[in-house]
Amino acid sequence: MQKRLAGSPQVPQLGLNSEAPGANAGNASMDEILKDIRAEAQEKLKAKFQSHEISDRSSENTRKRVRKEIIEIIESKTTLSKPEQLYLAEKLIDDLLGYGPLEVFFNPPLSDQVTEIKVNRWDHIRIEKNGIDMPAVDDKGNPLRFRDENHARDVLDRMLAPTGRKVDGSTPCVSARLPDGSRLMAQIPPVAVDGTIITIRRFKTDMSMEKLLEYGALNEEIKDFLSRAVYSRLNIFISGATGSGKSATLSCLTMYIPENESIITIEDPAELQLKHPNVRRLEAKPKNIEGEGEVTTWELVAQALRMAPKRIIVGECRNNEALDMVQAMGTGHDGSMSTGHANSADHMLNNRLVNLIQGTGRELPYETIIRMLADSIDIVVHQQQQRDGRRRIDHIAEVVGYEKVAGKYKVKLNNIFEYSKEKDTWLRTEHIFTRQERLVL
């Protein structure tokens, strides 16, 4: 029995007008037509396409072939016009090949505006667009959502397929880098109490210090200071909370590394956007389903030390790699950089890094750790995300040795730049930058 389309589609997923062609031409809803056709299309795709083709959402050739198959099914089951057929076919392609209701955020124009996608459960999706957290809606204001929990799981599995990682009852948490460089974190029941949770962080590919300047993340004086610090091979740590822009700033700073200097990056997962001709990228690998084959960030740092790099960049220090990274900074790999989660520059060095190094089990005396940090790190750049969504550098501190305070050793830092909320700008403090003579350019 052929059906006509009635009512406008509830969840358009492409950059098309919500007023689908022929919207009042019958008595069958878009959802009913989709449900009828989807099952047959899925079976046909399984029979005619290899699994790797179905998982390759970016292949225009695959989309063209699938579009042809779907339109044949639509023609056999409906009396929709050609424009209606194409509209419905694109919705089904996104559903069967792409990321379902999330697909729109991976294509222009939203791909350039949305930096975070948060699936709190299958029927509750939020995004961060231009720095502002908001509900995910279509162009008519209707909430974007999956059909049900199974649909959310199907899309998650499709996202993970090209990465070689999986999520199931025995491993209900997963972290992966998507083919476009986005970072995915997901949890499923039983750890996700209300159903599948998906968090995706997307990274702009055109980031630069000029862009950070344009976005108000820093000013011209700080841009000049940091560019000279990187070029002059000072060791830099970037601290801040999740989503404060640490990775973006780190990626931009690498632009000032001379082309003749070899870089090794170590990440888990890889997300830095380096535009440098002399870089070797390493990425940690989780255990396979047999519980074997894991390669940790810590092991990769040890490998990198034997690969003759001029500089080592660790995307984030969060485990045992912290000690090896700090030691590398202090033993000839000048100009190395990393990031870490902390509330301030002082908290990064005197709390977070100390705890990470103590957690390695190598039983280093506390004073030794403090001295190592003071001798190895030159500058700490601390970032914050403001209530209005903007990300900016909050302060930049220079390490100027260590001291004993109330009977306890700690790394001594002097803030060189501080952001003033009252004046809405950055101020140079009265502290003298003791490494001024090391700066070139």
Based on C-alpha coordinates, what's the Rg of the chain? Answer: 25
Classify the C-alpha dihedral 283-257-223-349 as positive or negative.
positive
Question: Which of the four pLDDT bands, split at 50, 70 and 90, describes residue 29?
Answer: low
pTM: 0.80
Cα 423 to Cα 412: distance, rounded to the nearest angstrom = 27
Q: Which CATH superfamily is domain 209-438 in?
A: P-loop containing nucleotide triphosphate hydrolases (3.40.50.300)
Structure confidence at residue 7 (pLDDT) = 39
**Cα 11-14-19 angle, rounded to 5 deg:** 60
Specify the amino acid at residue 28. A
Q: Which two tokens stand for residue 153?
A: 């799981």
Handedness of CA 201, 203, 204, 210 (dihedral sign): positive
- How many angstroms separate the CA atoms of 89 and 93, rounded? 6
Residue 417's pLDDT is 98
Give tens-digit pLDDT for 164-209.
888 998 889 998 889 888 999 999 999 999 999 999 999 877 789 9
Distance of CA 168 to the CA centre of its chain: 22
Among the ranges given (59-73, 253-267, 419-433), the one the predictor scored with the smallest mean pLDDT: 59-73
- Token couple for 391: 């990300």
Q: Any idea how long the chain is?
A: 441
pLDDT at 281 over 70: yes
- Comparing 112-126, 268-282, 328-342, 416-430, the range with the smallest average pLDDT is 268-282
Cα 53 from Cα 292, distance rounded (Å): 28
- Alpha-carbon distance 210 to 212, whole Å? 5
CATH number corresponding to 110-204: 3.30.450.90
Compute the distance between CA of residue 53 and CA of residue 431 in angstroms, rounded to an integer.
60
Number of other residues whose CB lies within 10 A of the CB of residue 172 = 15
d(CA 229, CA 8): 57
Tens of pLDDT, residues 230-278: 999 999 999 999 989 999 999 999 999 999 999 999 998 888 988 899 9
